[in-house]
């Protein structure tokens, strides 16, 4: 059986395909035209097992391929900026990087964002109110997390437009639209800017994440400038690509399930569990980032060769009947909800507390101000972002 995991039709309803895969091909080998093998793993139990196995399934390509097979582009600034961070590292590098960043990414720092987040949610909704309608994605779901990441990092207001312009080079799908030369120039601009900002914060510390990252130290060890830039790039990317989909997919799911929305409107204390259920039901990250088979392994009868790519399909595992009763039902009262929307194990999402706070405030504020939101597009005609990594709407036009 061949599964088409890239077509527009698949993206409109991936869950039917994932259900077939879980049933018939839970560990499915896709043979790419370049000869490489990509394994798609769709059952909850297998996804969990592989997320916990950091010996056979690794994140750093150097632990899976011999040096002669590594792409020479690895040494470029662009590659380093995007890849030299904890998400693409294995222990002990991962342990060191995450430990240093954890010092800066404190619960207090996240909680301090709450009033600003609440206020900005209202500002964005005030802007669209006179029009009686909006594109939820462009007008609300995207600007909110983007502004929060800039606030958290401490990027001065006056620089944000320029930083956003340079950041296009590292954020999809904009990055694909740029020529190599333009992309290189933008990355150079971003790197030079960040380098100056790191120096500035070292000399004149402030209460922001960049200062905390610059100062983070453990046993005399600090983050190098490349590691600092790559960490900031990772935060810029996650700030643009993930929470936007929690707000977009979440609002869409609640509009489609008015009886669940009514429960929330009667009892706002349910917003916390509701966000967890929305993450499970239609979460922002469809598959894991790339894992590599680090040592050839026979898993449930499948020989996974060293160097093969593995993608763990979170959106499928979260709909597995073996883990969740009636998984295709949105049920904000679900009692045990061990969803995998934030992954699991050592790479469990660092930003989960921030994403939860953003999702809850954004959705609660939206539906409190506009309790009768209506879709302006037939749900079957909505378009979803391409690619297997993220799950999110391109637009969601709503009547307020």
Q: How far apart are CA 139 and CA 137, in angstroms?
A: 6
Query: Quick one: which segment of 36-44, 182-190, 234-242, 327-335 binds ligand HEM (CB under 6 A)?
Result: 234-242
Residue from 191, 285, 309, 398 binding ligand HEM (CB under 6 A) = 285
**Residues within window 289-308 making contact with ligand HEM, judged by CB under 6 A:** 289
373 sits near ligand HEM (criterion: CB under 6 A): no
Size of the site for ligand HEM (CB under 6 A): 25
User: Alpha helix (H) ranges present in the chain?
Assistant: 8-12, 14-24, 44-52, 77-83, 93-104, 107-111, 114-128, 136, 143-153, 160-167, 174-177, 180-203, 209-215, 225-241, 243-256, 258-266, 271-282, 314-317, 352-369
Residue from 234, 264, 362, 396 binding ligand HEM (CB under 6 A) = 234
CA distances from 230 to 145, 185, 375 (A): 19, 17, 39
14 sits near ligand HEM (criterion: CB under 6 A): no
Phi, psi (degrees; rounded to nearest 5) at 350:
-70, -30
261 and 367 in contact (C-beta within 8 Å)? Answer: yes
- Give 14 or 283: the residue with its C-beta nearer to ligand HEM: 283
Contacts 24+ apart (CB under 8 A), 15-23: 15/315, 15/316, 15/319, 15/328, 18/42, 18/313, 18/315, 18/316, 18/319, 19/316, 19/319, 21/313, 21/316, 22/316, 22/320
CB of 350 to ligand HEM, least distance (A): 4
| Tokens coding 349 | 């999402």
390 sits near ligand HEM (criterion: CB under 6 A): no
* No. of helices (H) and no. of strands (E), the chain: 19, 10
Residue from 284, 294, 327, 392 binding ligand HEM (CB under 6 A) = 284
61 and 70 in contact (C-beta within 8 Å)? Answer: yes
CB of 299 to ligand HEM, least distance (A): 18
* Local structure of 31: helix, strand or coil: strand
The partner residues of 298 in beta bridges, in order of sequence, read 303
350 sits near ligand HEM (criterion: CB under 6 A): yes
142 class by beta-carbon count within 10 Å (0-12 exposed, 13-18 middle, 19+ buried): buried
Query: Quick one: which segment of 40-48, 157-165, 186-194, 336-344 binds ligand HEM (CB under 6 A)?
Result: 336-344
337 sits near ligand HEM (criterion: CB under 6 A): no
| Tokens coding 210 | 């960049």
78 sits near ligand HEM (criterion: CB under 6 A): no
362 sits near ligand HEM (criterion: CB under 6 A): no
CB of 181 to ligand HEM, least distance (A): 29
Residue from 42, 238, 316, 318 binding ligand HEM (CB under 6 A) = 238
87 sits near ligand HEM (criterion: CB under 6 A): yes
Query: Quick one: which segment of 117-125, 215-223, 242-250, 315-323 binds ligand HEM (CB under 6 A)?
Result: 242-250
Pairing of strands 27-31, 374-375: unpaired
Residue from 246, 251, 254, 264 binding ligand HEM (CB under 6 A) = 246
- The count of other CB atoms within 10 Å of the CB of residue 169 is 22
246 and 278 in contact (C-beta within 8 Å)? Answer: yes
Residue from 142, 170, 355, 393 binding ligand HEM (CB under 6 A) = 355
Query: Quick one: which segment of 1-9, 121-129, 164-172, 351-359 binds ligand HEM (CB under 6 A)?
Result: 351-359
Position of minimal CB gap to ligand HEM:
351
316 sits near ligand HEM (criterion: CB under 6 A): no
82 sits near ligand HEM (criterion: CB under 6 A): no
- Give 78 or 238: the residue with its C-beta nearer to ligand HEM: 238
Q: How far apart are CA 236 and CA 56, in angstroms?
A: 30
**Residues of this chain that bind ligand HEM (CB under 6 A):** 86-87, 98, 234-235, 238-239, 242-243, 246, 283-285, 288-289, 314, 341-343, 347, 349-351, 354-355
């Amino acid at each position: 059986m061949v599964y088409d995991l890239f077509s527009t039709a698949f993206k409109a309803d991936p869950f039917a395909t994932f259900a077939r895969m879980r049933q018939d091909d839970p560990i499915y080998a896709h043979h790419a035209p370049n000869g490489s093998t990509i394994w798609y793993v769709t059952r909850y139990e297998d996804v969990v097992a592989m997320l916990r196995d950091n010996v056979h399934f690794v994140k750093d390509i150097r632990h899976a391929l011999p040096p002669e097979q590594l792409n020479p582009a690895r040494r470029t600034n662009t590659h380093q900026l995007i890849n030299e961070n904890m998400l693409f590292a294995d222990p002990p590098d991962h342990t060191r990087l995450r430990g240093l960043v954890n010092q800066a990414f404190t619960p207090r720092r996240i909680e301090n964002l709450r009033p600003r987040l609440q206020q900005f949610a209202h500002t964005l909704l005030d802007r669209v109110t006179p029009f009686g309608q909006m594109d939820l994605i462009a007008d609300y779901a995207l600007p909110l997390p983007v502004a929060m990441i800039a606030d958290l990092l401490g990027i001065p207001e006056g620089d944000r437009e320029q930083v956003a312009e340079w950041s296009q080079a590292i954020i999809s799908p904009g990055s694909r639209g740029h020529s190599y030369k333009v992309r290189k120039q933008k990355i150079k601009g971003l790197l030079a800017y960040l380098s100056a900002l790191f120096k500035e914060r070292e000399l004149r510390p402030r209460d922001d994440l960049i200062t905390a990252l610059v100062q983070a130290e453990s046993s005399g060890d600090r983050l190098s400038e490349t590691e600092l830039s790559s960490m900031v790039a990772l935060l810029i990317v996650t700030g643009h690509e993930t929470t936007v989909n929690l707000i977009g997919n979440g609002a869409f799911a609640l509009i489609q399930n008015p009886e669940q929305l009514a429960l929330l409107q009667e009892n706002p204390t349910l917003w916390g569990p509701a966000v967890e259920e929305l993450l499970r039901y239609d979460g922002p990250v469809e598959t894991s980032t790339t894992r590599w088979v680090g040592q050839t392994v026979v898993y449930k009868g499948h020989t996974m060769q060293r160097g093969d790519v593995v993608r763990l399909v979170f959106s499928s595992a979260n709909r597995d009947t073996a883990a969740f009763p009636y998984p295709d039902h949105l049920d904000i009262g679900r009692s045990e909800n061990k969803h995998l929307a934030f992954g699991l194990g050592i790479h469990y999402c660092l930003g989960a507390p921030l994403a939860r706070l953003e999702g809850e405030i954004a959705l609660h504020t939206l539906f409190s101000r506009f309790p009768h939101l209506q879709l302006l597009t037939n749900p079957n005609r909505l378009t979803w972002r391409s690619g297997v990594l993220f799950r999110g709407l391109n637009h969601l036009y709503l009547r307020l």
